[in-house]
């Protein structure tokens, strides 16, 4: 039976024949560039495109708006713990949180009817849905960097940074320089 992925299975067979694939089992599980990228699920904001990521260079987590969710905290804390216990000498990684302009999550704040309907359909609290919206990506990315830095489950050996991707220019601006959980320089005023 045909599905949307069927035409891409041909690309998969080409991938399976490449040297990259053949070397995969011998590769370390930690990404080459020491990066753990958290960004929006929007198909226009794929870090493979805007950062030119290649195979094995980064761990990528994508959520609505690139917001830091409990699942993101779980992933970050797991990989941090894995390095602490399996490769304590490192290298450790940088969690780079990237929010973007023109984010569809903004509808959750700007379109009341959509928000009411989605809340009714799913049971999510409306206030939480408003908080999820990325209207000012520099502000939400600052809040999410702080959220990771202040979570005691996150390894103090990693660093966390915040960035904004502008979909009009294609350029990324860093708004929070890398800091480690527990470092005094990390905490921004609340």
Q: How far is the CB of 57 from Zn ion (least distance, A)?
A: 22
Q: How far is the CB of 119 from Zn ion (least distance, A)?
A: 19
Residue 64's closest CA among 151, 118, 159, 129? 129
Q: How far is the CB of 96 from Zn ion (least distance, A)?
A: 16
C-beta closer to Zn ion: residue 77 or 101 = 101
C-beta closer to Zn ion: residue 104 or 156 = 104
Q: How far is the CB of 66 from Zn ion (least distance, A)?
A: 7
58-63 and 94-100: which strand pairing? unpaired
Two structure tokens written together for 118: 């989605």
C-beta closer to Zn ion: residue 140 or 161 = 140
Torsion of CA 122, 70, 178, 55, to 10 degrees: -80
The residues of the shown chain that bind Zn ion, judged by CB under 5 A, are 40, 42, 103
Torsion of CA 20, 93, 74, 114, to 10 degrees: -80
C-beta closer to Zn ion: residue 40 or 132 = 40
């Amino acid at each position: 039976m045909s599905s949307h992925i069927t035409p891409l299975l041909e690309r998969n067979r080409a991938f399976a024949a490449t040297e990259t694939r053949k070397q995969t089992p011998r590769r370390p599980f930690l990404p080459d560039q020491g990066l753990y990228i958290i960004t929006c699920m929007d198909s226009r904001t794929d870090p493979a495109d805007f950062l030119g990521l290649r195979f094995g260079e980064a761990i990528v987590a994508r959520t609505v708006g690139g917001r830091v969710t409990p699942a993101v905290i779980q992933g970050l804390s797991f990989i941090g713990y894995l390095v602490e216990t399996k490769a304590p000498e490192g290298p450790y990684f940088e969690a780079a949180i990237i929010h973007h302009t023109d984010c569809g999550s903004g509808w959750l704040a700007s379109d009341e009817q959509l928000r009411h309907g989605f809340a009714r359909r799913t049971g999510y609290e409306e206030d939480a849905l408003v908080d999820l919206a990325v209207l000012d990506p520099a502000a939400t990315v600052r809040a999410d960097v702080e959220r990771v830095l202040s979570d005691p489950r996150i390894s103090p050996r990693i660093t966390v940074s915040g960035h904004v991707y502008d979909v009009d220019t294609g350029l990324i601006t860093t708004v929070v320089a890398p800091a480690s959980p527990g470092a005094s320089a990390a905490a921004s005023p609340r």
